Amino acid sequence: MHSVWRGPRALASLAVAAGLFSLAGPSAAAAAPPSVAATPPMGWNSWNHFAAKIDDATVRAQADAMVSSGMRDAGYRYINIDDTWEGTRDAAGVIHSNAKFPDMKALADYVHAKGLKLGIYSSPGPKTCAGYEGSEGHEAQDAKTYADWGIDYLKYDLCSLGDRMKATGSLDKAQDIELVAYRKMDAAISATGRPMVYSLCQYGVAQVWRWGGSVGGNLWRTTGDITDRFSRMTQIGFGQAGLAKYAKPGQWNDPDMLEVGNGGMSPIEYRTHMSLWALLAAPLLAGNDLSKMTPDTLAILTNREVIAIDQDKAGRQGDRVHAEGPLEVWAKPLAGGGKAVGLFNLSDQPSYVEVSYADLGLKAPVKTRDVWAAKDLGKLTSYRALVVGHGVVVLRLG
């Protein structure tokens, strides 16, 4: 699918070549109410595992599995259909789903009856990244269609609009096109009166974290696409350093969907992936086949204490405390003054990783718990863990 469209890379190099776009400052007034995404959205998305091989029956099976596996009870809510559901427009311009999705409203009813929510996908351009119908020129109509179907979440993926932006040859004009397009859909969603999570996908170009909230975004992708490889996952995850200040309730940095359970990483590496995303207060959108999960996959995705770190009410994103070669310490402030800490070992050999709590601003001895081991360690002022290669020890302090 990615060969269809080369926008993100082309856009990124345009931005790099000419310095950054001029940016609109964040505007609290224009931001969507935090209620739809007061904590980072949790759910599932079809793309990472199924890509274009997604249809009504498969989505229903994922909803069934989200409930029967216990994921819903662990906090997962959204069942998000990504690209390739789109059919054609009728004479009045109304979008219809294609033959893979015979009745979107019935599908939404099915998902809702399970206590879950349904998400969908489109593009502000004429075509989606997989070459399907986009929403350009039909924003109000499409938002109304989504609301009529009972949609609760929209991922809005730049795709072909990026070609138009690039063709202007001007960073300012390109940025205007993007801002107008994202605002247009935000207004269209608001006009329906139906609350929807609004997810911007434009691959982190032009420091979207600075203005994503001002165009109504509840989350915005900060990078290009993730793949099911340790090297890519860590490149994206650890590349989030410095972005913590842009995240808050209702507005989240999105380092892309989870690959946990898709087979390209070991259970230890998937645990690192899940831990890092939780420390980043990232949306937790599982990207695997929920109907065929190993016990390891399910245990990683549903670890209550790790999820609690991600979903902490303070809504603060974690950041790097220090790095020494392949050893990194990250910390996330928690409500009530505690901290979640990740001791990461990116090498493939076991290594000790140490944190002094003074480096986290904690002076007195603090109650320390090893989260994955589910073990209280007593009141400490520092901790030194032996961490397996590609692994992590997550601590909860306070």
Is 319 annotated in the active site?
no
Q: Which is nearer to ligand GLA, 222 or 302 (CB)?
A: 222
Reduce the DSSP state of residue 14 to 3 states and report it: helix
Task: Give per-residue burial for 210-234: e unless 16+ CB within 10 Å, then b.
Answer: bbbbbbbbbbbbbbbbbbbebebbb
Is 142 annotated in the active site?
A: no
Q: In terms of CB distance, is 157 or 328 closer to ligand GLA? A: 157
* Most distant CA atoms of the chain, gap in Å: 69
- Cα angle, residue 124 at apex, residues 120 and 129 outer, rounded to 5°: 70
Closest-CA residue to 82 (of 117, 118, 57, 109): 118
In whole angstroms, the minimum distance from the beta carbon of 132 to ligand GLA comes to 8
Minimum separation from the CB atom of position 261 to ligand GLA (A): 17
Q: Which is nearer to ligand GLA, 104 or 201 (CB)?
A: 201
Closest approach, Cβ 325 to ligand GLA, in A, equals: 31
3-state class (DSSP) for residue 372:
coil
Tell me how far, at minimum, the Cβ of 285 lies from ligand GLA, in Å: 10
DSSP state of 84: S
Residue 378 burial (CB < 10 Å; 0-12/13-18/19+)? exposed
* Catalytic member of 148, 176, 225, 370: 225
The total number of residues shown for the chain amounts to: 398
Active-site residue, from 142, 152, 157, 228: 157
Residue (127 or 332) nearer to ligand GLA, CB:
127
Give the nearer residue to ligand GLA in terms of CB position, either 49 or 316. 49
Sheet containing strand 252-254, edge to edge, reads 252-254, 219-221, 197-201, 153-157, 117-122, 78-80, 42-45, 284-286
Q: Give me the residues paired with residue 87 across strands.
A: none
Which residues are at the interface with ligand GLA (CB under 6 A)? 1-2, 47, 82-83, 128-130, 157, 201, 225
Just list the catalytic residues. 157, 225
